Amino acid sequence: MTAADRTGSLIADPVVATPYGAVRGRYERGIAVFRGIPYAAPPFGLLRFRPPAPPEPWDGIRDAGTFGPTAPKPPYSEAFAPYLSDPVVPGDDCLNLNVWTPDPDPRARLPVLVWVHGGALTRGSSAVPVYDGRAFARDGVVCVSVNYRLGVEGFGLFPDAPPNPGLRDQLAALRWIHESVAAFGGDPDRITLCGQSAGALGVGALLAAPQTQGLVRRAVLQSGAPEAAERAKVRRMVRRMATRLRIPATAEAFAAVDRDLLLRTQAEVGRLSSPVLGGPAFGIVMDGDLVPRDPLAALADGGAAPGVDLLMGWTRDEYRLWLVPGGLTDRVDRLGAVALAGARARCHCGPDVPRGYRALYPGAGTAEIVGQMVTDHLLRVPMHRLADARPGRSYVYEFAWPSGLPGLGACHALELGFVFDSGDVPESRRLAGEGAPRELAEAMHSAWVRFAATGDPGWEAWDATHPVRIFDADAPRTVLGPRDREVALWAPGTGDRVRIPGGPVSRTRSRRSG
């Protein structure tokens, strides 16, 4: 196949050599795109529930014109499907990645952004149209997006298999990128590892892993703070699946189950969990190897990822995506004191905390109080503490533009179409609605481009004044710490109150910057 350049003459499709064989991509609007490149062998048969193995080398030139298979996953529920796109590409060769580059020449030495998708460790893929890397390549950044194992096959915990195979997939992809990206025009010494939600959990764990030291120059954590899940919580998820399937809770027994039945069972058990309400769920666990200690603690004390610049933040109304679909907002409001008691248990705090939130959010319903408490507990508090403790440069943001769809506000995942500057695809409008501001996409996307290229997204690094970049319909602006809101969420074992950037109090007065 060929493509036409600006003069109308034909140019050949790009061909790049990888460690396992050559691949042929496509030129699309001046960008060289390679899709479905295997970085590891299909994780099935003898490799199921095992660490990733190298792919089989191939002779000749492998076509890389279409997305590769996606990892096995159940579809989103009827409540979430209208909002979130999740394409399925059948096939076993699901450990693959995609590359968008403006110049597939080893001499280009362009910055690299590696994208790790979210989806609660159970859904999502690199084929989601919102994650199209064309805009990054257009602006001089090589963009690489990766697939990894999901759900029980990627993050189940078994007595007869190594933990965290999905995270080990991400490490294998990162190693492949570090070794191979120069052939696509990238600079292996300027890799920015970027993820959202569950993808950010993976990024945080990899940053703290001894095996990744030297592979990453910068990192972005979007709506996901580094953490290690409780092993008992992950075991409960596996055991409940095993009970429904009437099999032992072992990798050997799970590997013998029909894949479709396994996914249906996983979805049924997973309905009992949510970020707000808690419950059994898959997670990254400490394993004494890839995750030898809690990632947040390892990064905060400066012992892990020294010299790695961080960009991290959240959306103003994260919890609305967790509560609005399916009518959970009204149900939580009706539960009242019962829901608040559950939030207190989720956040490890006493009865004074909900009262403090009532004062911060006068007139708010129970669902909003619970949502803000859990968002602070899961995201704002740990990211605030990480920025405070980390010796290197950190930059903090809040995405505050509200969706045009009723009830969503500035919800979880809404910022993705702005980061990728992909608001023109229909899948972005599933969350944003119509009329998303083009200027906001330009501002947010260019900040990510600058960070990948230079380590400076365009506003002040975190210091004692607590600068936070606010992205909303107005021009992006930076707010400072004197207008932080005090949150009485107490981390276990500390007993201290923390001041959290963002929120309605800090936005009442602001200082524009950049």
Query: Which residues participate in catalysis according to the annotation?
Result: 197, 318, 412
Question: Using CB atoms within 10 A of its CB, is residue 238 exposed (0-12), middle (13-18) or buried (19+)?
Answer: buried
Residue of 412, 414, 333, 341 whose CA lies nearest to 378? 412
Look at residues 169, 251, 162 and name the one whose alpha carbon lies nearest to residue 205.
Answer: 169
Two structure tokens written together for 476: 């992006």
Q: Is 499 exposed, middle or buried (0-12, 13-18, 19+ CB in 10 A)?
A: middle
Query: Do 416 and 196 form a contact (C-beta atoms < 8 A)?
Result: yes
Compute φ and ψ for 240, nearest 5 degrees: -65, -35
Give the end-to-end CA distance of the chain in Å, rounded to a whole number: 45
The answer to whether the CB of 234 falls within 8 A of the CB of 285 is yes
CA-nearest of 402, 409, 403, 399 to 470 is 399
Q: Are 156 and 76 in contact (CB under 8 A)?
A: no
Report the alpha-carbon distance of residue 153 to residue 71 in Å, rounded: 9
User: How open is the CA angle 73-279-116, to the nearest 5 degrees?
Assistant: 40
What's the rounded Cα separation, in Å, for the pair 219 and 305? 10
The C-alpha atoms of residue 3 and residue 169 are separated, in whole angstroms, by 34
Collapse the DSSP code of 390 into the 3-class scheme (helix H, G, I; strand E, B; otherwise coil) and give the result: coil
Distances (CA, A) of 450 to 35, 185, 386, 453: 25, 18, 22, 5
Write down the H helix ranges in 193-230: 198-208
Please say whether the beta carbons of 133 and 100 come within 8 A: yes
Q: Are 270 and 122 in contact (CB under 8 A)?
A: yes
Is the CB of residue 72 less than 8 Å from the CB of residue 151?
yes
Q: Which of 395, 352, 345, 354 is nearest to 373 (CA)?
A: 354
Tokens standing for 490? Answer: 């107490």
Give the separation between CA 428 and CA 257, rounded to whole angstroms. 36
Beta strand 2-4 pairing with 498-500: unpaired
CA 314 → CA 247, 311, 372, 384, distances in Å?
40, 11, 12, 11
